[in-house]
Amino acid sequence: MRLAVNEAGANLQAATEANAKIQAQLLKESSPLLPGLLKQGKLSVVAVFFDVQTGKVTLLS
Write out pLDDT tens, residues 26-39: 999 998 989 999 99
Closest of 59, 48, 18 to residue 1, by C-alpha: 18
For the chain, the domains span 2-60
Question: Is the pTM of the predicted complex or chain greater than 0.85?
Answer: no
- Predicted confidence band of residue 24 (pLDDT cuts 50, 70, 90): very high
Q: Average pLDDT, whole number, for the chain?
A: 90
pLDDT in tens, 37-57: 999 999 999 999 999 999 999
Count of beta carbons in the 10 Å neighbourhood of residue 58: 12
The residue-averaged pLDDT of 14-23 equals: 92
CB proximity list for 20: less than 8 A, separation 6 or greater: 47, 48, 49, 60
CA atoms within 13 A on the CB side of 34: 12
